[in-house]
Structure 1
């Protein structure tokens, strides 16, 4: 008798055939052909050096040694199934770990989480556009600006990045809000400038992109820089100038009149927000559930990059 461990696939084929007492029914259950089942059983008999079925009997009849073997095999499969279920349960009990850019997290994702069925989530903040994928062991998924360039990841488009200026509805720099693009030159322009060199071009270009769409020259414009969008927003509320950012960041504030868009001109950024999932995490139930939910919230289908 060989000491080599039998093929797990051969054992599955044998167990199904023995349980059904039929090669045809076993083949139907496993989605293979009658011949494939027969070959797997023949290979298993060769590996074990033992005849498993009495030849020429219909329905199939196990030999005495095979009947004892079947009980042990079925017990083994139950142990494997139980261990898998325990592992899955432990995985589900751990919080879903999401890494996202701060403004996206606080201004779009968090206000929507009341509709998410599982609130066991742990957040970490990204400070760069493309997250460091060495964090993959600590993070289940990323929400970032732009698709991932890292290997072994899948990117799903969530939202376009539409750039819009906004200001306090009553007083800006001690004056009423501007009524035209030409009047912007009288006001301080506020925007966030990331301290990280990778994401700095992304944050720095917002006013330039919008100004190009609006026909505004801002070469000599007064600029006030802040490290985060939330600080820009607070400065806007204090009337320190006109802010710039993604429209999705201020949609609730616009609806409630806390801020206004002084002119109705918006610019489409070259970037967009993406859900990025490491391939090692793609089939985790908690990741699949969040992916379906967040894509539904964004109104996008499964667009894979």
Structure 2
């Protein structure tokens, strides 16, 4: 077998035939998948083996089995094809000029963005808005997104950005949980209730917890009450609405619950988060129709929300 060429890539069709045969376990099944003959699949794999200088398969009556080099090469081939598939999906953002995609953290998307965004949709029915919710960082080179609503901006030094708002937390609960009429006479009365805790893991240092709030309220004689703990803000808010305890709720995310009376404020003492929410975007997307208008509108929504916030 000839020595492999380390600089010249093999034919893509040869790699595809190899990957398909490896997944299906037989040349006949690979041929059916690729709509070619088994002989053609065999020939393409043979060409790939000659190009690489190694045997990729051991052939038998029952099918084909990968050799050790074949197993290694398959992993790289599948990763390469997956990269191409992501690239193809990424092209979706260029197929229509009248599409804008917003990516945001799940709680921010469902409880801050969406209640406001319906109004913008009504004003601009010609724009196809796509909303994606994720806890993952967004790579604008591989993810077809135009705007990303991010907690902090330290991961995006090369992108354009605007600071939307710095949220703050206040103690709230369901009115069905209250044992005394509002307003509470003093913060000590909060110890009459279970305290809901939010655990953001390594990002927890950016979210004020009950210990910090009690310290700010000059209560240093007792630790926070136990209560249910959640790693997702949305679940913690749902638990508070269900009357499972009192919550240090993010004001921007509980606005509707407060307006609808599902939650009530127990104190006006608000503690700010240690990072702001940002709108991150690559400058190139501002050439898309209505992108600048959407950016300005989101900034205005954040300004309006900031003016309404307590504390």
Q: Name the TM-score class by shorter chain.
A: 0.5 to 0.7
Q: Of residues 263, 268, 271 in structure 1, which corresponds to 2:272?
A: 268
Q: Of residues 249, 252, 262 in structure 1, which corresponds to 2:253?
A: 249
In structure 2, the residue corresponding to 1:163 is in which secondary structure?
strand
Can you list the C-alpha shifts for 1:120-178, whole angstroms capped at 9, x where unaligned? 222222315xx243665422111112224323201201122121111011325xx4478
TM-score, with structure 1 as normaliser: 0.59
- Structure ID, larger Rg: 1
C-alpha spacing 1:96/1:206, structure 2 compared with 1 (3 Å)? farther
Residue equivalent to 1:216: 219
CA distance in structure 1 between the partners assigned to 2:147 and 2:128 by the alignment: 14
Q: How does 1:19-168 map to 2 (within 5 A)?
A: 90-93=95-98, 95-116=99-120, 117-118=123-124, 120-127=128-135, 131-133=137-139, 137-168=143-174
Moved segments of 4+, more than 6 Å: none
In structure 2, the residue corresponding to 1:96 is in which secondary structure?
strand
Residue equivalent to 1:226: 230
In structure 2, the residue corresponding to 1:155 is in which secondary structure?
strand
Structure 2: tracts of 5 or more residues without a match: 1-92, 305-311
C-alpha spacing 1:89/1:224, structure 2 compared with 1 (3 Å)? closer
C-alpha spacing 1:148/1:170, structure 2 compared with 1 (3 Å)? same
State the Cα distance separating 1:242 from its structure 2 match.
0.3
State the Cα distance separating 1:222 from its structure 2 match.
0.7
Contact 1:177 1:262 survives alignment (8 Å): no
Can you list the C-alpha shifts for 1:283-304, whole angstroms capped at 9, x where unaligned? 333432210111122228xxxx
Residue equivalent to 1:192: 198
CA distance in structure 2 between the partners assigned to 1:137 and 1:206 by the alignment: 33
Contact 1:168 1:259 survives alignment (8 Å): yes
TM-score, with structure 2 as normaliser: 0.58
Contact 2:159 2:283 survives alignment (8 Å): yes
Residue equivalent to 2:46: none
C-alpha spacing 1:254/1:159, structure 2 compared with 1 (3 Å)? same
Can you list the C-alpha shifts for 1:253-305, whole angstroms capped at 9, x where unaligned? 222222101122112222221111123434333432210111122228xxxxx
Contact 1:163 1:267 survives alignment (8 Å): yes
State the Cα distance separating 1:90 from its structure 2 match.
4.2
In structure 2, the residue corresponding to 1:270 is in which secondary structure?
coil
